[in-house]
Amino acid sequence: MTERFTPTPEDKFSFGLWTVGWQGRDPFGDATRAAIDPVESVQRLAELGAWGVTFHDDDLIPFGAPETEREAIVKRFRQAVDASGLVVPMVTTNLFTHPVFKDGG
C-alpha cells in the first residue's frame, strides 16, 4: 500500500471485534476459522494504524461468565488498549444472538 493510502490514527478508523475476529460462520454451518483473541486483535489493529476498536459485550466476555472471569478479561483487554494507544469509542450489547432475546431486545 502506498504511504498516501496507509491509514494513520489521525484518520480515526475504528474496527469492530466482530469483524476482525469473524469466524466464518453462517446459518448453514459451523465456524470455519479459529477464534482470535481480542487482545491479539487490539495489538494487530494498532500495528496497522487503527485509531480505535469497538465491540459487543459478548465479543469480549462470554454470556454467563462469572464475575472473576469478567474482571480478568476486562483488565487484560484494558491493558492491551492502553499499551496500544487505541481508543474504545463505542461498546454495545448483543441483543440478537442469545436465546433470551428471541422475542426482541
Active-site positions read: 56, 59
* Nearest C-alpha neighbor of 52 from the set 80, 87, 26: 87
Q: How far apart are CA 59 and CA 73, in angstroms?
A: 11
Cβ–Cβ < 8 Å for 38, 77: yes
Q: What cell was used for 82?
A: 492502553
Residue with cell 487484560: 76
